[in-house]
Amino acid sequence: MNLELRPLPGFTRAAIDPRLSLRLALRELRGGLGHLRLLAVCLFLGVLALAGVGSLAAAITAGLAREGQSILGGDVEVRLTQRFPTPAERRAIAAAGVTSDVVKMRAMLRGLSGRAAGRELLGELKAVDPRWPLYGEARLAHGGGNAEVRRALGEGAVVATAFAEQLGVAVGDRIALGEAEFTVTGLLAAEPDRAGEGFALGPTILIGIDRLEATGLLQPGSLYRSHTRIRLPDGRDPADVVERLEAAFPEAGWRLADRRDGAPGVRRFVERLAQFLALVSLTALAVAGVGVSDGVRTWLDRKTGTIASLKACGASSALVVCTYLLVILAVGVAAAILGAALGALVPAIVVRLAGDAMPVPPALGLYPGPLLVAILFGLLVALAFALPPLARAGALPAQRLFRGAAEPWPWPSVRATLVSAALVLLVVVLAIALSPEKLFALGFLAGALGLLLLLAGLGAAIRRAAAALPRPRRALLRLAVANLYRPGAMTGQLVVALGLGLSLFAALAVIETSFAAELRRTVPERAPTFFVLDIPREAEPAFRAAVPAGSELALVPSLRGPITAVNGTPVTDLKAVPEGAWVLRGDRGLTWSATLPEGNRLVAGRWWPEDYAGPPLVSMDAEQAGLLGLEVGDTLTVSVLGVELTARIASLREIRWDSLGFNFVLVFDPNTLAGAPYSFMATVSPPPALEAAFPARVGAAVPTASVVRVKDVAGQVGALLRQVGIAVRSAASVAVLAGLAVLVGAIAAQARTRIYDGVILKTLGATRRQLLGSAALEYAGLGVIVAGIALGLGALFAWVVLTRVFELGFQPHWPTVLATVALGALVTLVLGLLGAARALAAPVAPVLRAL
């Protein structure tokens, strides 16, 4: 008999019939997803993380833009340090629109009556005029808006509710600020321009600007800032006002801002954190890609009979690939859309759970941009990881139908591999193009790719090492070791999928515990106990007398002023200023010294003689000078009380910032600033028995001075680090969840093989308990291996960050770090045992009949 296989109607080897491919794809979808659920779960998690981070960043940015006038306090703000506008400047400012004046400085609030009597706390004093706020709504705790706040200010002082919580201040109590006494007439619950003021050392104290002089806090050299806000007429462009003021007073030394960027510091922080979290989420999406690849391969493995039947009936490889690609795309698009939809809800969830911790209220709404970007990245990653197994399925010969699982899968073609690589490259290029700091994004992605390749190499090495080990005598242990390198073993994929997420968690645990140890151990050893600010120079003898005997005291003169020009070029005209050059943003602390400050090391140039009386010289921080390309001999121009001062760089210093003492980026020679009005700053470490009484002693001797406890500042920094750690850990958890999804998928993919193995071993006399013990050994070994790799890589990454980036000590709390990775090993063991128990529950007889 002569049998000839001919293509059935509708099949052709020469071309792809789109309608036929679509019909076959719909039929496959009606049959259920099967192992494509792993693809859906992994893609859903990756897109959810990207969409959530992008939506939250967009909501905060939109909130900054929407509330720009309220956050800034006006359409335009003119900010001056240690001086007020001159009459000519004030006339030009007033010509632009309605103005409001605010003066900000630090001050000690001392309780005189009630529960707060005899207690004091550092606060941020804000003296406002009757027109404050020009925009937004201030609210009192007991109710009432702007009108009620203004009425309360006319009768006394309004303090933030934090004073009630920390000192017990209540409405009607008497308090002292500097040399003046006030009655508390209200507790401030909402301050519209608070977000634009940056880091604060204490809660807000509001008083009328006409009462400021009575406090005696405005002394020559006092550190204060004058803010004049302008409300423009409708239709007036704030950029035009800024340009006119800059042109009219080029040497004013002021900082001008408009409503388009009311809180630049908050915006930069949000952008950087969002970029980092987005890159972490993209790395987690790469881990999810491993699950996509495993899910597609396992699903296609179950479809070998269907694929071979199609080919035997005349279907071309192109038709097979097109059909199953449509199925994968349908599942991927649905999972990506669902992940993006849930990611769009992240801003609302964050506001509900942690709204009080947000720098500004996010503008809740739908932001299509981040969602579309997340969906695009998700589909590109899914295609990149799905194409290789799909191409292998397309190359499957029809004869496989009759050979069962005996014939290995063919490798994907070179073309398919190149297409997959091109998709990965496209993802990387898009990620870099969409990042505000492209160099950082490139470095991060290169490091993440290197880590993934390293994990893949370690996974392969573990398989080879397991195969090379001597065969254990105990049969169950031999079976557990063999399962690590047997054909179809998922060891390599699991090391990659679980290793990355656990490495991130281990690194975070090392960094956080090391930083906590730095605050707990190193800070008390190196740092002073108190900072004392705004000591009038005529009050220096009284302050020295108030310092207890046996105290460690360091007293330095201080002014503030911005850098306005570098080598004669105005800062506003500088091109490509490095992101890390913070010395050019805002005001800088200025001092002078005849000798090299303690904790500083000269790295270039020479220090001036103690009796130097020549042209202005300045010594600069070497790191900031390097970022700006400055060397000894270059010049800097600084605005001091409205006077432009140009000095030549005489030396560069390496500063030991972790000493927590007074470290100035710019130190002038003793002659240049000695005639300027200045105040003193001091670091004091009194005997431990006198620490509690020290703030009161200083307050009684120098009422205008502000006392800051170093532990309080360190606590605020630690709280900020913990908040950032929570955000990073949330993004990294997606990588862990994706890794667990890969583990579950691997267990499901091996279920058939495990069932057959279990049945054969049971037939040979093995008990269920023995087989569970073998599985426990296998997954415990795998969990310990993954945890060990994560511990090593995480600790190495954390060491680099701590010692090279932050220049801190490496002193992690190892029990916490080990508990973090041990939890990952335990989860691996538990999931593995659950999968093994399910496989071993299969009855022997039906399985043997099916063999």
Residue range 446-475, pLDDT digits in tens: 877 888 888 888 888 888 888 888 888 887
pLDDT at 522: 57
Looking at the predicted structure, is the pLDDT value of residue 200 above 80? no
Smallest CA-to-CA distance from 548 within 691, 644, 388 is with 691
What are the pLDDT digits (tens) for 256-297? 888 776 666 666 767 777 777 777 777 777 777 777 887 787
> Nearest CA to 51 among 453, 369, 329?
369
**Does residue 308 have a pLDDT over 80?**
no
Count how many residues are written for the chain: 851
CA distances from 717 to 200, 526, 722 (A): 11, 17, 9
Where residue 359 falls among pLDDT bands split at 50, 70, 90?
A: low
Task: Report which listed range, 410-414, 681-685, 716-720, 726-730, is most confident.
Answer: 681-685
Whether 401 has a pLDDT exceeding 50, the answer reads no
Q: Tell me, what's the pLDDT at 649? A: 95
Higher pLDDT, 709 or 101: 101
Question: Which pLDDT belongs to residue 99?
Answer: 92
The mean-pLDDT minimum among 186-200, 443-457, 705-719, 790-804 falls in 705-719
Mean predicted confidence (pLDDT) in 822-838: 79
| Residue 4: band (very low, low, confident or very high) from pLDDT cuts 50, 70, 90 | very low
Q: Which one, of 604, 611, 595, lies nearest residue 650 by Cα?
A: 604
- pLDDT of 275 reads 75
Task: Report pLDDT for 11.
Answer: 46
Is the per-residue pLDDT at 650 higher than 80?
A: yes
Across residues 469-492, what is the average pLDDT? 80
Q: What secondary structure letter does DSSP report for 750?
A: T
pLDDT higher than threshold 80 for residue 478: yes
Backbone angles phi, psi at 57, to 5 degrees: -65, -40
How far is residue 258's CA from residue 168's CA, in Å, rounded to a whole number?
38
Q: Is the pLDDT of residue 18 over 70?
A: yes
Kindly report whether the global pTM for this prediction surpasses the value 0.95: no
Report the 10 Å Cβ neighbour count for 610. Answer: 10
Q: Taking the alpha carbons of 135, 140, 143, 147 in that order, is the dihedral positive or negative?
A: negative
Place of tokens 């990294």: 732
Q: Is the pLDDT of residue 302 over 80?
A: no
Measured in whole angstroms, the distance separating CA 791 from the mean position of its chain's CA atoms is: 22
pLDDT tens readout for residues 776-827: 888 888 888 888 888 988 888 888 877 876 666 788 888 888 988 888 788 8
Specify which residues 729 forms β-bridges with.
none
Q: What is the pLDDT of residue 95?
A: 92
Give me the mean pLDDT over the 82-101 stretch: 91
Q: What is the pLDDT of residue 10?
A: 46
Of 5 and 722, the structure prediction assigns the larger pLDDT to: 722
